[in-house]
Amino acid sequence: MQSLEGSSSIKVHVSGTENPEEASFFESFEAAHSMHDLSSSIAKKLGVKAPPVRIDSQAKYGALSRGDGAIYLRFPHKGYREKIWDHAAGFIVVTEAGGVAMDAAGNPLDFSKGKFLDVDTGIIVTNQKLMPLVLKAVQDSLSEDAQSASSL
Ligand SMILES: Nc1ncnc2c1ncn2[C@@H]1O[C@H](COP(=O)(O)OS(=O)(=O)O)[C@@H](OP(=O)(O)O)[C@H]1O
Ligand SMILES: [Mg+2]
């Protein structure tokens, strides 16, 4: 990373925290772009204490890449298909910074299939240590949601 004033460049790295309680998370500013209720229940399961940091655009990937927060949760409403141009640049930056991005089923993101990123339910970005814990909380929250929907 290099400042616009031209300072010397420094290598950035994602947060190294292993403790979800001290990890803050990013999500879309717009509730129409990501289900805030779902991310709130995931954060609660993880014991995250800080409120969500809501930012528009791929700036979320940039902030995560320099360790401003530790988790990015993205769960669009049913039927929305992610476009590669909304993620590709941020994905490269965060991966270079040591982060890992997966869909809700734990699959890696596949940018080789044309304009759409066909992910299972949503996208999770975090560090290597937190990913298994976050994935478990995501899957538990999704199955609770599915159970309550089927009992209506
Ligand atoms: N319908 C719907 N559902 C979920 N997510 C959506 C939707 N439409 C746009 N997006 C996301 O909105 C962000 C900006 O997208 P766009 O570039 O299409 O919008 S804009 O016209 O430039 O504002 C960008 O992500 P975030 O800013 O992270 O939410 C897009 O991926
Ligand atoms: Mg745009």
Q: How many CB atoms lie within 10 A of CB 21?
A: 10
Check pocket membership of 45 for ligand 1, CB cut-off 6 A: no
DSSP 8-state assignment for residue 108: B
Check pocket membership of 28 for ligand 1, CB cut-off 6 A: yes
Residue 68 pLDDT? 96
What domains, with CATH codes, occur in the chain?
20-142 (3.40.190.80)
State pLDDT tens for residues 11-50. 999 999 999 999 999 999 999 999 999 999 999 999 999 9
Helix (H) or strand (E) holding 150: helix 131-150
Helix (H, G, I), strand (E, B) or coil at 63: helix
Q: Whose CA is nearest to atom 19 of ligand 1?
A: 57
pTM for the model: 0.94
**Ligand 2 centroid from CA 46, angstroms:** 31
Crossing angle of helices 36-46 and 131-150, in 10° steps, is: 120
- Pick out the residues of the known binding site for Mg(2+): 86
Q: Whose CA is nearest to atom 21 of ligand 1?
A: 57
Check pocket membership of 33 for ligand 1, CB cut-off 6 A: yes
Complex-level ipTM: 0.86
Calpha distance 101→87 (Å, rounded):
10
Check pocket membership of 86 for ligand 1, CB cut-off 6 A: yes
* 110 contacts: CB under 8 Å, gap ≥ 6: 117, 118
Angle 101-138-49 from CA coordinates, rounded to 5°? 95
If you search the block for the tokens 């401003």, which residue do you land on?
68
Residue 93 pLDDT? 98
Query: Best of 25, 29, 33, 123 to mutate for ligand 1, by most ligand atoms within 8 A of CB?
Result: 33
State pLDDT tens for residues 105-125. 999 999 999 999 999 999 999
